[in-house]
A and B are shown apart, each in its own frame.
Chain A
C-alpha cells in the first residue's frame, strides 16, 4: 500500500469523526503551544536577564597600566603611565571582539554647588563611549556630552543620583553649574540610578565629564599621585579658567632612581590616562578580547617577545561565571518545562488513540476481513496519530506564538521568536505521534478479525 493511500485513508478516518480528532489534537495543541510560548517568553526573559547581568559589567574589561618599581619596591598596579587615548582607539579599531572602548582618568576632589559641598566617590573623565560600555546610555534627564566636548575639553558633566541628592536637594541639576576644584562645570545630564555594585561601591556617587577636561583642567596629574589633601590647597590659588594646567601638584610620574632614569629614558607623554575600559561584544568573547587587546597593546608599546606586559587586563570573572550559570539554568529549565508539556500532550494522544482503537474494533475487524494485514492496520493508526500530532503541532505553533505575542503586547514582557523552538516542536510533535501512537496502533494490528467483527 502506498504512503499516499495510507495518508488519505488516515485523513478520511479522521474526517469521519472531527470532534474526536479535534479533542485528540487539543492535547498536542496545548503541549506544543506551551512549548513555543515557554521557549519564546523564556528566551526573552533569559536575554533580559543576561542583559541585566551584562549591565553590571560582565562584559567589561579594565586595562590598567603596569607596575613601576624602584629598587625592588613595587608601586602597585597602575603606577606607570603607559596607556594613552590612542591605545584605546587602537583597541576599538583592531580588536574584533571589542564592541566599544573608552580612555578614563579619575579624580577625587571636592564638588561645590551654592553653599553645599560633597566629595564624590568617583569623578571620571571619559568619552561618551563610557556610557555604552557601562550600559548606561539612558539618562534620567538631559543628554550626554559628545565627542566634540571631549575634543574641546568643554566644562560639561553628567552627575549621578547621589550627587543630585547631596548637592541639589531634589531640584533639577540640569543647566546648573557646579565647581570642581574651583573650575565651573555645567551639568548637562543626570544618570539613571544604578545602586551599589557587588563590592558595595555606590555607583551613583559619580560625576562624569570629558576626560580631556578632567585631565587638563582638574587634576593635571594621574590619580595615583593626587589626593584630596594635596588638592585642597588649590582654593588658595587664583581661579584662571583659561589655564590648561591650573593646579599641577606632584610629578606626572613616580620618582625614579637616577640609575633607572639613565638606563631607561622615557619620552614624556602628557596624554597618559589612568585606565581603558572596553566592552567585549558578548560574554563568550571575553577570552578572545583579552588576547586581542594584549596583542594590540604589546605591539603599540613596542614590547619584545619575553618582555613582561606594561599593562594589566582584568575581566569580571565572577560576573561572567554568574552569567553563564544563569544562562545554562534558564535553558535547562525551559527544556524541562517543554519536555513535561510534550509528554502530557503525548499521553493525551495515546489515551484518545486507545479509545479510538476500542471504538473502531469492528472497523478494524472488517478491514482485516477484506484483506488488510496487521501491518496495514498498524500503519494506518500510526499515520493517523502522526497526522493528528502534526496538525496539532501546526496549530500549537500558531497558538503558542500568538500567546507569546499577546504576553508581549499586554504585559510588555520581553519575547524572542525562536525558529529553533518551532522546528523542534514540529519534529517533536511528529515524534510524539509515532511514540505514543505506536502502542494503540500495535494493539489494533494484533486484533483477531473474528473477535473484532463480533465486538459490540
Chain B
C-alpha cells in the first residue's frame, strides 16, 4: 500500500514541477484570433496552459505534448457523432472543465469522449461527458487520475453503447468521485493493476456497474453500484480489495450485486448488499475473505458454486433475505463462522452471544427453486413453510457441512464510521 502512495506523490510532484518553468497561457475563445483549440496546442510549448473560454468547439482536439488544457465557463467539445472530441497522446497532460458531447461511434476503433493513448501522468477531472460512445478511455497508460467527472449516456442495448470509464492495460491509475450513468459498463478494467477506485457512483448502466478482468491488486472502496442491468462482475483476478462499497437494487434474472468468477486471495469486507436478486455469486473463487458485509433484502444473499474453496465468511450480517445461501453441491469447502443469520432459530443457553446449535443457511426451498424456478410462486405458503421446518429438523437434501457452527445471536456490529 505504501509503495502505491509513493507513486501518487511522485506523480503529483512531477506534474506541478512542470509549471515552475515559466509556462505561458494561451486563451482560446470563439470569435477571437485564437478560436481553435488545436491551433493553440500547436503553438504551445510543453507545460504551457491552454485556457478555453465558454463556447462550442467542433474539432477533434489532439493533445500531443505535455499541457494543461483547462475549460473556463464549461466550453463544449462536440464530436457531432463523427469524431473523438479529445485524444491525449502525450504524458503530463491535464484536462478539466469541459463539457464533452457526442463522440463518434465505430466498430473498429473504440471512440471515446476523452481517450488517453500510451501516456503517463494524465489528469482528467471535473469534466461533464454526455452522449459519448465510450466516456473516458485509458489505453496502455500509467499513473493517471480520473476524478470528479460526470458521465452520462443513454444506452439501451449493449451493442450500441460503450463503457463509461474504460481502462485497458493500465497500471497505478486512480479513479475517484466520478458519476457514471447509462453506459454499457460503468467502469471497465482489463489488465489494470495496482489501481484505486474510490467513491464513484455507477448507476443505471446497461450491463455492469463495474466490470473487471485480469486486474490484480486493485483497491475498490466507498463506491456505489446501483440499478445496473447485471450488477457488478469481477473475473480472473487475484488480490483484490473491496471495502465499504454499496451494491444495491441490481434486480433481474441475471443480475448480481457482485459476480465473482475465478477470484483468488481477495478481501471483500464491510460492503453493503441491498435488494439484489443475488447479492454475491461465486464461482471458482479461492482463499478469499468475506467479512463484516451486510446482506439485506436480497433474493439470494450468497450463491456459492462447488468450485469455490477455502473462502472464509465471518462476521457478516444476513438480514431479511429471501434465501441466505445456496450451492450446487453436497460438499462445501468453505468456512462460515460467527455470522449473524436472521433465519437462525437456535438458542443460546450459556448467553455467550453464540448460538448453541449450528445454523444451516441453505434452505430446502432455495434448492428446489433452483431447479424449479416457478416454485417461487409458492414461497411463504404453508406447505413450503412446513417443508422448510422439516428439512431444518432432519436435513436430507441440503449440504450439511455447509453450516455456521458459531452463529451470532445478534448482528455483528459494523463500524459504520468508515462507511460513507
The answer to whether A and B interact is: no
Q: Hey, which bits of chain A sit against chain B, CB under 8 A? A: none
